[in-house]
Structure 1
Amino acid sequence: MAERYSSFTPGGTTWLLQRITAAFLVVVLAFHFFLLHFVNHAADVTFASTQARMENVGYFLTMVLFLVAGTFHGVNGVYNALVNQGLKGTQKKVVLAVLTIASVALIAQGTYVALVMAGWT
């Protein structure tokens, strides 16, 4: 039987955060779909209604956490998949640096857009 290999250390911090963000994303994604596809139908969602939702502090924080959790979960998953495929040495460090910079940029831009939508800038 083939040996199982994973770059995640069971019980390690990234292993735990990957599972926590997965659970959080499932719950918030369900909330997102319920709110924007059943309560407010997609055709009824407007820029003004998005601004109104973002003005609610709870909704704003949920969406920013959704952004952070989704970014971490996706980037961490991609990075570990590449490590599992044999990424090592300098290439591993470069990929980690590029993914980290891209993640910070995505979170900064997404947070800025959320702040603008909430009217807080």
Structure 2
Amino acid sequence: MNRYFSTIPWLLQRISGAVLVVLLAVHFWVGHYADWGEPITFAGVQMRLQSTVFITIDLILLMLVVFHGLNGVRNIILDYPAFLPHNRPISLILFIIGIATVIFGIYALYPFITGGG
């Protein structure tokens, strides 16, 4: 067994994938199909984002997508034996990228979070 392999990231990858399937289905249904035939407008999205439930779901989606994507990139990189000794720096760089992405996403949702949307 590879000494750099950990069951926790592997398990979290599977859990985040399953939760993403459900949340994305809900997100697409509400965002694109709930008002069948009506065009998607900024005002409609803005109205939906006034709900704490939708903001919470969007924030959870943001964090899950970032984790799932970057953990997948980490797994692909560490599949190459040349990168195995660099596990920690690679993981740290991807962690920093993930934190920055989540902060940027929260910044984009901030007007809606504060109710000013």
Q: CA deviation at 1:8?
A: 4.4
Aligned to 2:17: 22
TM-score normalised according to structure 2 size: 0.82
Among residues 75, 89, 102, which one is paired with 2:85 in the alignment? Answer: 89
Secondary structure of 1:44's counterpart equals: coil
Runs of 4+ in 1 over 3 A off after TM superposition: 40-43, 117-121
Q: Using the alignment, how far apart are the partners of 2:80 and 2:21 within structure 1?
A: 27
The answer to whether the 8 A contact 1:71-1:107 is kept is yes
**Superposed counterparts of 1:27-106, under 5 Å:** 27-40=22-35, 44-86=39-81, 87-90=83-86, 92-106=87-101
Change beyond 3 A, Cα 1:40–1:106: farther
Change beyond 3 A, Cα 1:8–1:22: farther
Instruction: Count how many residue pairs are aligned between Structure 1 and Structure 2.
Output: 115
The AA in structure 2 aligned to 1:80 is: N
Aligned sequence identity (%): 30
Q: Using the alignment, how far apart are the partners of 1:37 and 1:54 within structure 2?
A: 14
Pairwise CA RMSD of aligned residues?
Answer: 2.5
Q: CA deviation at 1:43?
A: 6.8
Change beyond 3 A, Cα 1:54–1:117: same
Structure 2: segments with no counterpart, 5+ residues: none
